[in-house]
């Protein structure tokens, strides 16, 4: 066809974004070139600068511009708790609850053999070393998806074998949830993991 080569290259390059197929890539390219050239140049610059400047924090493994990220080097956090999450977005959600003042470890993924992610692709050695050095309780806060649960199970076995105390965040009905509208799996878990009511 008679598509100019730099347009074709841009459409192809946009497909590296997750969830973007040929049609969306085409739509994005037209939009940028027709309506938002400054946005396109800003995006090009941000991509370059992010790839160049960002690395993994030596302690929590999240993205950071420094050797050790702001949170890990703050000194105001409780280092007897180590919360393991899948992605930096999960860390942000935990922080927004404002109920957790411990440290974090970000796996940057989950065990997912179907996507080709196995145990050696996750920084588990660093997690174990970190937990041993701090002699802390590890709180597993991976997602309650099949992959997240499998990851939590695997980590629990691994960490307990090293004599490390391990817990998992609670499953149950969400705050404001109604029995009538919750799925039966969640309700069953909520019954199984019921807590005694004390005075």
Among 58, 81, 108, 190, the residue binding its own copies under the rule CB under 8 A is 108
From residue 193, how far is each of 160, 163, 164 by CA, in Å?
A: 21, 24, 23
Q: What share of the chain is helix, strand, coil (3-state, %, to 5)?
A: 50, 15, 40
Q: Which two tokens stand for residue 195?
A: 């807590």
Angle CA 106–112–115, to nearest 5: 115
Q: Which of 159, 91, 87 is nearest to 129 (CA)?
A: 159
Distance CA 169, CA 139 (A): 7
Looking at the Cβ atoms of 68 and 119, the one nearer to its own copies is: 68
Distance of CA 86 to the CA centre of its chain: 3
Site mask for its own copies (CB under 8 A), range 37-66, x = bound = x-xxxxxxxxxxxxxxxx--------xxx-
Minimum CB separation from its own copies for residue 190, in Å?
A: 27
Minimum CB separation from its own copies for residue 31, in Å?
A: 5
61 contacts 106 by C-beta, under 8 angstroms:
yes
Among 67, 78, 95, 193, the residue binding its own copies under the rule CB under 8 A is 95
Residue 28 in contact with its own copies, rule: CB under 8 A = yes
In DSSP terms, which residues pair with 167 in a beta bridge?
A: 139
Residue 114 in contact with its own copies, rule: CB under 8 A = no
Among 88, 131, 142, 164, the residue binding its own copies under the rule CB under 8 A is 88
Residues in contact with its own copies, counted by CB under 8 A, come to a total of 57
Looking at the Cβ atoms of 41 and 188, the one nearer to its own copies is: 41
Residue 146 in contact with its own copies, rule: CB under 8 A = no
Residue 12 in contact with its own copies, rule: CB under 8 A = yes
Minimum CB separation from its own copies for residue 150, in Å?
A: 20
Residue 118 in contact with its own copies, rule: CB under 8 A = no
Residue 145 in contact with its own copies, rule: CB under 8 A = no
Residue 1 in contact with its own copies, rule: CB under 8 A = yes
- CB atoms inside a 10 Å sphere around CB 138: 26
Distance CA 13, CA 34 (A): 18
């Amino acid at each position: 066809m008679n598509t100019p080569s730099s347009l074709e290259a841009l459409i192809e390059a946009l497909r590296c974004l997750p969830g973007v197929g040929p049609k969306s890539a085409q739509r994005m390219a037209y939009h940028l070139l027709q309506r938002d050239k400054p946005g396109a140049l800003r995006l090009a610059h941000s991509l370059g600068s992010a790839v160049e400047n960002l690395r993994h924090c030596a302690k929590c493994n999240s993205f950071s511009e420094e050797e050790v990220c702001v949170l890990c080097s703050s000194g105001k956090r409780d280092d007897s708790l180590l919360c393991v999450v899948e992605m930096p977005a999960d860390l942000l959600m935990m922080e927004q609850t404002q109920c957790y003042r411990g440290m974090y470890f970000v796996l940057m993924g989950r065990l997912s053999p179907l996507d080709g992610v196995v145990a050696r692709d996750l920084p588990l050695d660093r997690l174990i070393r970190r937990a041993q050095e701090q002699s802390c309780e590890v709180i597993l806060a991976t997602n309650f998806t099949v992959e997240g649960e499998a990851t939590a199970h695997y980590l629990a076995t691994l960490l307990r074998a090293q004599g490390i105390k391990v817990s998992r965040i609670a499953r149950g009905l969400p705050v404001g949830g109604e029995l009538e509208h919750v799925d039966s799996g969640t309700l069953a878990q909520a019954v199984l993991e019921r807590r005694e009511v004390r005075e």
